[in-house]
Amino acid sequence: MSSSLKKILIILSLVFILSVALSSLGIAYAGGVRGVGLLGAWFFLTFGIIVVLGQLIPAMILLYSFISSAFFPYRKTESPILAS
């Protein structure tokens, strides 16, 4: 990977984490959490969302491959041949 691509990925990752953190902070504040509890709710929501996404994305890839293999059992490069 080139260094410019690494910098872009780092910036995008930081922007994503910051946006999730700020939205979590807004949700907790709007829900009536104040003081030190706001900090705890902020961390809980932020890292909870990141952990759920970290589990959800690979699970969706596996689910897609399972569904596609169930409905399309042949490989895309092969043509189905009936053995007689």
Copy the structure tokens of residue 62: 């596996």
Q: In this predicted structure, what is the pLDDT of residue 77?
A: 59
CA distance 16 to 65: 27
Give me the half-sphere count of Cα atoms (radius 13 Å) on the Cβ side of residue 18: 6
**Cβ pair 20, 50 in contact under 8 A:** yes
Confidence bin at 7 (pLDDT 50/70/90): very high
Confidence bin at 83 (pLDDT 50/70/90): low
Find the DSSP H helices in the chain: 3-30, 36-71
pTM of the complete model: 0.56
**Cβ pair 35, 41 in contact under 8 A:** no
